[in-house]
Structure 1
Amino acid sequence: MSKSFAAWVVDKATDKSDAANGGGVRELTTDDLPPVDGPSVLIEVECSSLNYKDALACQGHPGVVNRFPHVPGIDCAGRVLESDSASFAPDDPVLVTGYDLGAARWGGYSGLVRVPADWPVSIKDRLSPAQAMAYGTAGFTAAQCVMAVQRCVEPGRGDVLVTGATGGVGVYAVAILAKLGYRVVAVTGKPAQADTLRGLGAAEVVGRDVLEGESDAPLLSERWAAAVDTVGGAPLATLVRSIRHRGVVAACGLVAGAELPLTVYPFILRGVTLAGVDSAKCPREPRLEVWRRLSGPWRVDLPQELVDTVTLDELPDAVARILSGRHVGRTLVRPTSEAALR
């Protein structure tokens, strides 16, 4: 029997000034869900989350969305309604992050989602849907960044810098690194959040100017043992030139730009590692290991002030905040709508 539900549907591309106004809440049924080639799982979504990529998708950004209509949401968590796979049964709690969810395939800003059967990860007896989405792609990415740091640098070798420290990836990177014994220096343009970052474990909080400078020298003074960079661009280039011998930078973002003005000198003279971290296409076995750590030894429960929750009706304001740089921490998205119920 067909079942109806609310979803945020994007019908056209807009510019940044329009926030999420290229779409709106719509009532859909299971008949509207795009089909899946091969075995699939139908999930009743309890919770999704808001990431920068989601904000772009809400505008129909061509770098994320290539066809309309589209439902954003690169994360979701809930319970299985129907399954073609022996790995999942009805009522099993699961999460999905990455792959093509919310990009090439309709995503989590929807009461129901249908995905290939090899996408979900079981969270039974480990995380609630809300806890899973407090992590979402942001926590999943942060954990991969920490793993990249661990491979090259042990705690005690020096300071580990985290840029964009009040963002979703940043807050988890700070907390997990501190939990593992690293001395964390958090970079933020929001000085009012300094106490919050220290509460997460940052030993020091500095402004963005720590990575600003006019020197175009191929190498700068060695300052950081390692770093997690969420911004890219010129700050990342400065960071790489400032990393100590045999240090590492785990890079996962580009809000400061996609260009990287560097020479090879940091790599061939200091043995610096630039470790790119992707999340969408992470293979299944490493993916399961990341979630094992996040739900176990690396578990971090963010303070209440760093997690807020919005409904689909409130999504445009949340998208505007993240696109304007005013967003802090994590925003959960409940795929419910008062408008759709009226």
Structure 2
Amino acid sequence: MPTYPAFRIHQDAQGHHAGIEQLPRPTPAAGEVLIRVGWSGVNYKDALAGTGRGKILRTFPLVGGADAAGVVEQSAHPCYQNGEAVVVTGWGLTHDHDGGFAGYLCCPAEWLVPIPDGLDPRRAGIFGTAGLTAALAVHRMLVNGQEPGLGPILVTGASGGVGAMAVAILARLGFSVSAVSGKPELTDWLRHLGAAEVLPREALAGATRPLEKARWGGAVDNVGGELLAQITRTIAPGGNIAAIGLVGGHELHTTVMPFILRGASLLGCNSVDIPYPLRRTLWNHLASDWQPPDLEALVSETVALEGLPPVFEDMLAGRTHGRVLVAL
């Protein structure tokens, strides 16, 4: 029986352990598609899952990886043909279903998106979950009336995958972007992606009153906690805050005053369960009018499956930036 390599995660009597295994190549059941994976990417949740430091997986063992881009190897669904380029992110990948850190991935056809013109599997892999999440944040802000005239957009956690994508997409759309990063050595890189200014984290400290001077027309926040609370106090009238991450904490201590007196909006973004029509719309934007002019600049490293464990450690320790690609 043909086999393929996969980075598989276990939690059993031996505790947490993960590594490369050879698995039998599956045959898709009715309604499923077998993908020959070309590219995946490492997300923060992948590092948590791969090291066992976060409760990401609901069942064990599972193949890690929340992203997969490649071509259809075998289809049991009428909408997909062999050789078609597809991408899948979110849904149940590396949660309760095998993910993209593998030579093959079999999943329901409804999870897939045909890779649109303007992208190929590698470029779709560069976007991955990070790009789709950033696109969802931008979409929600635009639908809610965000426009450049409201003022600069603050992006926190700007050196991470989602943050860097948000910087590049917003700059592409004509917004002035203020990027917040704790890594001063990445200032030139963030400016290359489109940031008009790069600020240290300390620049946001001190906003403690219910309302402070309005500084930002909107924000994409990848941190949460106290930093998000400070942003709510400094958002301009009519501005939107897209909330994506919680590495700084899941609690939010603020008041209703920014939302009532300034009409600010807090928009939650969950890219895992985006409905299919919107998911396809966002990928079409990423392939065309939202695509950064230098997408390759977002890639900081490309590794094989064997390189995943050290990347996980580096990511959790804050030593990575942008997108780390996984070549299958």
Correspondence for 1:340: none
Match for 1:169: what amino acid? Answer: V
- From the superposition, tell whether residues 322 and 308 of structure 1 become closer, same or farther in structure 2 (CA, over 3 Å): same
- 2:17 maps to which residue? 22
Counterpart contact for 2:191–2:197, Cα < 8 Å: yes
Q: 2:147 aligned with 1:150, yes or no?
A: no
> What residue number does 2:6 align with?
7
Alignment partner of 1:73 is 2:65: yes
2: CA distance, partners of 1:303 / 1:291: 17
Q: CA RMSD in A?
A: 1.9
Query: Superposition pairs for residues 54-203 of structure 1, below 5 Å?
Result: 54-61=46-53, 63-123=55-115, 125-151=117-143, 152-203=145-196
- Which is further off, 218-227 or 108-117? 218-227
Distance in 1 between residues matched to 2:298 and 2:212, nearest whole Å: 37
Which residue is equivalent to 1:229? 221
Deviation at 1:304, TM superposition (A): 4.1
CA distance in 2, matches of 1:97, 1:196: 26
Partner Cα separation in structure 2 for residue 280 and residue 109 of structure 1? 17
2: distance between equivalents of 1:62 and 1:314? 20
Q: Displacement of 1:276 after TM fit?
A: 0.5
1:125–1:244 CA distance, 2 compared to 1 (3 A): closer
User: Match of 1:334?
Assistant: 327
**Which residue of the partner structure matches residue 233 of structure 2?**
241
Secondary structure in structure 1 of the residue aligned to 2:259 = helix
- Give me the identity figure in percent: 44
Q: 1:50 maps to which residue?
A: 42
What is residue 298 of structure 1 aligned with on the other side?
A: 290
Aligned amino acid, residue 176 of structure 1: I
Give 1:60 deviation, angstroms: 3.6
Residues 227, 249 of structure 1: 8 Å contact kept = yes
Amino acid at match of 2:78: A
For residues 227 and 62 of structure 1, the distance between their equivalents in structure 2, rounded to whole angstroms, comes to 27
Alpha carbons of 1:175 and 1:102: their partners in 2 closer, same or farther (altered >3 Å)?
A: same
Residues 143-152 or 198-207, more deviating:
143-152
Task: Spell out the pairing of 1:28-43 with structure 2 (5 A cutoff).
Answer: 28-31=23-26, 39-43=31-35
What is the one-letter code of the residue matched to 1:190? K
| Residues 232 and 257, structure 1, Cα contact 8 Å, conserved in 2 | yes
**Aligned equivalents of 1:302 and 1:22: distance in 2?**
34
d(CA) in 2 for partners of 1:40, 1:70: 18
1:145 deviation in Å? 1.1
CA distance in 2, matches of 1:334, 1:182: 33
Residues 291-310 of structure 1, C-alpha deviations (whole Å, 9 max, x = no match):
00000111123344743211
- Alignment-mate amino acid for residue 259 of structure 2: F
Deviation at 1:211, TM superposition (A): 2.2
Q: 1:327 Cα shift? A: 1.0
Q: Does the aligned pair in 2 maintain the 1:149–1:227 contact within 8 Å?
A: no
Number of aligned residue pairs: give it. 325
* 2:261 matched residue in structure 1: 269
Query: Cα gap change, 1:156/1:57 in structure 2, threshold over 3 Å: closer, same or farther?
Result: same
- Return the TM-score normalized by structure 1: 0.90
Instruction: Summarize deviations over 1:16-41 as a string: whole Å, max 9, x none.
Output: xx9xx72011111125x8x86x5100
Q: Verify the 8 A CA contact 2:59 2:95 in the aligned structure 1.
A: no
How far off is 1:323 after superposition?
0.5
Structure 2: which 5+ residue stretches go unaligned?
none
Q: 8 Å contact 1:161–1:185 — kept in the other structure?
A: yes
Quick one: distance in 2 between partners of 1:209 and 1:68?
41
* One-letter amino acid of the counterpart of residue 81, structure 2: A
Residues 224/259 of structure 1: CA separation in 2 closer, same or farther (3 Å cut): same
